Amino acid sequence: MKTLFTRSLVVASLVLSGGALADTALLNVSYDVTRDFYKDYNPAFQKYWKAKTGENITLQQSHGGSSKQAMSVASGLSADVITMNQAPDIDLLAERGGLVPTDWQKRLPNNASPFVSSMVFIVRKGNPKAIKDWNDLVKPGLQVILPNPKTSGNGRYTYLAAWGQAQKAGGEAKAREYVGKLFANVPVLDAGGRAATTTFMQRNMGDVLVSFENEAEMVAREFGRGSFEVIYPSSSILAENPVSVVDKVVDKKGTRKAAEAYLNFLWSPEGQEIAAQNYLRPRDSKVLAKYAQQFPPVKLFTVEEVFGSWKKAMDTHFKDGGTFDQVYARK
Amino acid sequence: MASLSTAAPRGIATTEPAWVRYTFTGLALTFLGLFLLVPLVSVFAEALAKGWSLYLDALIEPEALFAMKLTLIAALIAVPLNVVFGVAAAWSIAKFDFHGKSLLITLIDLPFSVSPVVAGLTYVLMFGAQGWLGEWLSAHDIKIIFAVPGIVLATVFVTFPFIARELIPLMQAQGADEEQAALVLGATGWQTFWHITLPNIKWGLLYGVILCNARAMGEFGAVSVVSGHIRGETNTIPLHVEILYNEYNFVGAFACASLLAVLALVTLALKTLVEWRAARQLGNDVPLEARARLAAAK
């Protein structure tokens, strides 16, 4: 027993010290569905970094539900960069412990979001319920699958997209009515985007799944293109994917230069192209033009345009007792 | 934990008609089949759905290998620690009387009654950046949570009671007579422990180690909270399974899950073996644990 114990201590200390001898290592803490993108992007950056500086760089990934991931970073998970699907998750780091400055979104172009996505409808093959636009989702008896707006970025964007398009068409009262009807058609509220997709594709529940454009592509890869159709509504929300260096961590680890380069490279033609290949809408107009075929034009509105700011949207709609609770409780 | 069925005496002890007995046995077997056997088989079926080569590829993928390594490390640290703690706690509880004994017993049981997620969160509150020790740890550049130590801590926490709980009734049943005799004959405390107590509890200890190890390797909740999910750095097998599943990599997820299923089967086999050996050595047909319980009840 004694030797076993000693041996296990030796093994443990070897593993613990292992991290210290490696080259520069960056930890990218991200949300659930970006795995495929960073799987392609990380090797490209490693190559670029090697060519530029002659150094090898190790890139580590952590994926999970976006808000949970943000909380982990706030609690001390030492992320060099954080790549999320909405600004409030990075704002959290400014509020709790000042890990990033409050103006983090101004440090990089395009609101610090190198690519965007949008909410689209995924319907069963042949579109049996003839779903074409938002108004079709509130037809009586239709089942809509979407995740809980309180716990998932995916659900939040869906809610805001639904509200925004209705408000643009008929004002706030109409928007409230529309969203109420929409959520009356939702049989289950899954906790995250991935879980909602599984409900729709694997458990075969519902007539339409509302999700990110790039998630639809993931479904296509995994379940085959013949099993469903993607419907683009006439207007939708611009879902930004903001990124930031986590200042407190990089300054302590001395990895700021590499971390900043890692994020800047997202805006390079190569980074933008990898985004496009993963069905994330690139910001670079040239790359966007090249992949125009896979990104049908949709009228996109931003959160700021309709709701003033993310903070206002969060406070009015997703706080306890907020608009979402009101419309969902009325069901 | 305790398999009550093994405590039943051998032979027919009821007078119910045969059809009643068969109906009940049938019901129990159907239930076990539906809720245990079928899911277990389906794990292997899913893992092998696309053939052996993909199954093996999923297992030798570097991130999967790392998850196995980390799981082993966590178990290799947690189990010996719990052996030392469990033997010490059971020894003091069974052989001595002192104030606060019942409090100690209650504390040992705490991990059984606390949800693992809560256990994980308490560690985050303790060691997290905004936790009680967060500032100090970060000033001294010590990483506990979102690193290997946190995973080990969480594992130790949830597996705390397994060995102590196994040994306490056994040691209580054995009483302190043999130890007292040894002491009277001039043995030192350490000699008494080494030559009298340890041989007496060896099968119970082994049994506890097996259960403790199974839980240490399979723990999800507490570890998930403190891990940070860094691939190739803080991912254990159960966490790796969840990630792969969320990525629609069903073959990979179930291949890794099948490892845990194999672990469960090996645990079961070892447990049976230990019970059988212990029963034989004690020259008694009644399994070890049941014997201890029976004796303790007298």
Test A27 with B128 for CB contact under 8 angstroms: no
- How far, in Å, CA of A61 to CA of A70, rounded? 14
Average pLDDT over residues A81-104: 92
Lowest-confidence region among A190-204, A303-317, B3-17, B111-125: B3-17
Predicted local distance difference test score (pLDDT) of residue B285: 47
- How far, in Å, CA of A89 to CA of A69, rounded? 9
Average per-residue pLDDT for chain B: 86
- From chain B, the residues in CB contact with A77 under 8 A are 145-146, 228, 230
Kindly tell me if the per-residue pLDDT of A138 is higher than 90.
Answer: yes
- In contact, B93 and B168? CB cutoff 8 Å: yes
* Confidence at A330, pLDDT banded by 50, 70, 90: low
Test A60 with B231 for CB contact under 8 angstroms: yes
- In contact, A79 and A246? CB cutoff 8 Å: yes
Predicted local distance difference test score (pLDDT) of residue A226: 83
- From chain A, the residues in CB contact with B69 under 8 A are 15
Q: Give the tokens for residue A111.
A: 């609101």
Predicted local distance difference test score (pLDDT) of residue B1: 43
Nearest of A35, A25, A31 to residue A262 by alpha carbon: A25
Test A12 with B233 for CB contact under 8 angstroms: no
- How far, in Å, CA of A203 to CA of A60, rounded? 33
- Start-to-end Cα distance in chain B: 21
Measured between CA atoms, the residue of chain B closest to residue A25 is B233
**What is the per-residue pLDDT across B209-224, written as a single tens digit (0 to 9) for each?**
999 999 999 999 999 9
Mutate one of B125, B248, B251 to test the A interface: name it (highest A CB count within 10 A). B248
Predicted local distance difference test score (pLDDT) of residue B231: 86
ipTM, two decimals, is 0.71
Average pLDDT over residues A297-322: 91
Measured between CA atoms, the residue of chain A closest to residue B225 is A72
Predicted local distance difference test score (pLDDT) of residue A7: 52
Predicted local distance difference test score (pLDDT) of residue A65: 77
> Within 13 Å of residue A244, how many CA atoms lie on the same side as its CB?
29
With the CA atoms of A45, A49, A50 and A56 taken in that order, what torsion angle do they form, in degrees rounded to the nearest 10? Answer: -80
Helices (H), chain B: 18-32, 38-47, 52-60, 62-95, 101-113, 116-127, 134-139, 148-174, 177-184, 189-192, 198-218, 221-227, 237-246, 250-281, 288-297
* Confidence at A20, pLDDT banded by 50, 70, 90: very low
Measured between CA atoms, the residue of chain B closest to residue A221 is B248
Predicted local distance difference test score (pLDDT) of residue A217: 82
Kindly tell me if the per-residue pLDDT of B294 is higher than 80.
Answer: no
**What is the per-residue pLDDT across A45-65, written as a single tens digit (0 to 9) for each?**
999 999 999 999 999 999 887
**What is the per-residue pLDDT across B23-32, written as a single tens digit (0 to 9) for each?**
999 999 999 9
* A-B Cβ pairs (cutoff 8 Å, strict): 81
**What is the per-residue pLDDT across B3-20, written as a single tens digit (0 to 9) for each?**
444 444 555 566 788 888
* Confidence at A66, pLDDT banded by 50, 70, 90: confident
Nearest of A145, A138, A196 to residue A170 by alpha carbon: A138
- From chain A, the residues in CB contact with B130 under 8 A are 74-76, 96-97
Name residues whose C-beta falls within 8 Å of residue A179's C-beta, 6 or more positions apart in sequence: A159, A162, A163, A166, A323, A324, A327
- In contact, A165 and A134? CB cutoff 8 Å: yes
